[in-house]
Amino acid sequence: MPEPAALLVTGATGFVGGHFLRAAHAAGHPLAALARPTSKREHLAELPIDWCLGDVASKGEVDAAVARLAATAEGRATALVHGAAVISYKTGSGPLQDAVNVEGTRHVLDAAARHGIDRVLLVSSVVAVGVAPDARSTIDEEAPFELVREVTGKPFVSDYMRTKRVAEELALGRDDLDVVVVNPGAIFGEAPTPSNTAHVFQRVEHSPIGRIAAPGSLSAVGVEDVAAGMLLALAKGRRGRRYLLTDENLCLGELVARIEAAIRPGAPGRRVLKPGRGTWAALVAGARLVDRFHRLEVVTPTALELLGLHFRYDSSRARQELGWSPQSLDLVLAKTASWLRRIGWLPPV
């Protein structure tokens, strides 16, 4: 069997990046990572990582890190795992997302081609695939992105969706590189600092807002399963192919109930309010009005609009071609709740 490839990982200090680095180390891959000087790395101190300090928004810093990977690979195959991204639904966040999500990806791709990297794995998102038309449907990797316009009346719903789609098109359009893409869903699990999905747990437990379920859907997955899917895509993924890494498709009311069951095992569930689509549209319009005068940070107009859409996906390709087999979502939610109890975000059972 060939030796595991030498890897350079961007986004290494983040939620998915840390889990991927541990899984890659266990699989025998030599590791290098690009991180900003200000990024916290203490949670990865036990791993033998060659840290390259820099920012994906800097073409020169990316090129230097990739050149270092190529020079130190010692005859091994090389792979670049690009997971760095800015996720934001705040008004006005587009320029930063363009700089990191689009131009940063361009810098990574150009450097990989310049230094002869054998494979690039792009960590994209389900939002780059599109949205399902309703709560009874799912879409797969071949769905036309035009569905977004058909469902919403506009080409993109957020700057995050726009920039992740553009970045993916850049990557899959490169004939000079061996590129594989993975598209994770809404990711749950332990993180260096509580993630967006961890905040959902806290709102369900502590805030009445957390028990108001928007009329949309999402496709959930555990962070450890995303890391495992990334390794499988590196090893087995077909060039120019994307792989959806999602497990269960849930209406948001069901997700709230499942999270509450993980927080309070065996306890009777509390009432979940489920506004209709008309009421939800009015909430989105109200948030847009408020946001014009006072920029909202968390419950933003774009975030609310997205919660009314159906992000439902069929991950058969990853399961069949890669042999990906995620753990049950109930186990993932239970493990997430256990971690949040340990750090004091949830009360003891």
Extents of the domains making up the chain: 6-267+300-340
Cα–Cα distance for residue pair 199/274, rounded to 1 Å: 20
52 near 27, Cβ under 8 Å? Answer: no
Residue 295 class from Cβ within 10 Å (0-12 exposed, 13-18 middle, 19+ buried)?
exposed
Instruction: Region of 255 please: left (phi>0), alpha (psi -120 to 50) or beta.
Output: alpha
Residue 127 DSSP one-character state: G
* CB neighbourhood size of 76 (10 A): 16
Q: Which CATH architecture has domain 6-267+300-340?
A: 3-Layer(aba) Sandwich (3.40)
By DSSP bridging, strand 78-82 and strand 49-53 are unpaired
Residues of the chain with pLDDT below 50 are: none
**Pick from 94, 76, 64, 62: which is nearest to 31 by CA?**
76
